[in-house]
């Protein structure tokens, strides 16, 4: 009981922050789902972007909670600068992963090609004509005409010229199958 009496204001503020962040999360998830469905993006990519938003809001909640419970700005500055220094060094070593994740987020909101489209990637070293089989967080799965599966990094997909050869009938058969059920 002593705990609740001592931290009564902080606990009330925490409840308010959590409710507000949950409402914001729900609104953003609704908007992302709506954008994804109107753009014809598959559910796996929609869930991935929603997960990124949830993690970001969780980190924001931790930051706000630290202020509510009395952390000072200079204390948090020391902690965050140390954490970001370590993360920065680690991420510099794996910058391509960050680049691919960022490209995956960009491709979610602004990518003219969908699963099932046949595309041609104009790369002088390794030109590719394939059907997009899946779009993931780090790479795109492309199925070549000979049946081989190629994983192509998201960041290269945004850097290379890509031509839409034809729309594949996969989307139409999936829609017809759903109506039949």
For residue range 9-23, what is the model confidence (pLDDT) as tens digits? Answer: 888 999 999 999 999
- CB distance 116 to 132 below 8 Å: yes
The whole-angstrom distance between residue 122's C-alpha and the CA centroid of its chain comes to: 26
pLDDT, tens only, 53-92: 999 999 899 888 888 888 888 877 888 788 878 877 776 6
Is pLDDT at 172 greater than 50 in this prediction? no
- Bridge partners of 140? 135, 152
Among residues 156, 162, 41, 51, the alpha carbon closest in space to that of 99 is found at: 156
Structure tokens at 43: 């559910």
Q: Rounded to two decimals, what is the model's pTM? A: 0.55
Lowest mean pLDDT among 17-26, 36-45, 97-106, 167-176: 167-176
For residues 46 and 98, give the distance between their C-alpha atoms in angstroms, rounded to a whole number.
19
128-135 and 139-144 beta bridge pairing: antiparallel
Among residues 45, 39, 160, 41, the alpha carbon closest in space to that of 101 is found at: 45
For residue 181, the model assigns a pLDDT of: 40
For residues 5 and 111, give the distance between their C-alpha atoms in angstroms, rounded to a whole number.
53
- Bridge partners of 128? 121
């Amino acid at each position: 009981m002593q705990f609740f009496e001592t931290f009564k204001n902080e606990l009330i503020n925490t409840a308010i922050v959590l409710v507000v962040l949950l409402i914001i999360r729900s609104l953003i998830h609704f908007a992302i789902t709506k954008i994804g469905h109107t753009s014809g993006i598959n559910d796996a990519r929609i869930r991935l972007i929603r997960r990124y938003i949830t993690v970001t809001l969780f980190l924001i909640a931790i930051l706000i909670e630290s202020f509510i419970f009395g952390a000072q700005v200079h204390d948090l500055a020391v902690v965050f600068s140390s954490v970001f220094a370590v993360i920065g060094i680690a991420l510099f070593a794996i910058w391509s992963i960050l680049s691919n994740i960022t490209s995956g987020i960009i491709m979610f909101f602004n990518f003219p090609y969908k699963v099932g489209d046949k595309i041609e990637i104009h790369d002088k070293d390794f030109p590719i004509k394939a059907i997009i089989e899946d779009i993931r967080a780090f790479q795109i799965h492309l199925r070549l005409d000979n049946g081989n599966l190629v994983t192509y990094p998201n960041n290269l997909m945004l850097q290379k010229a890509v031509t839409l050869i034809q729309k594949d009938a996969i989307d139409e058969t999936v829609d017809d199958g759903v109506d039949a059920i």
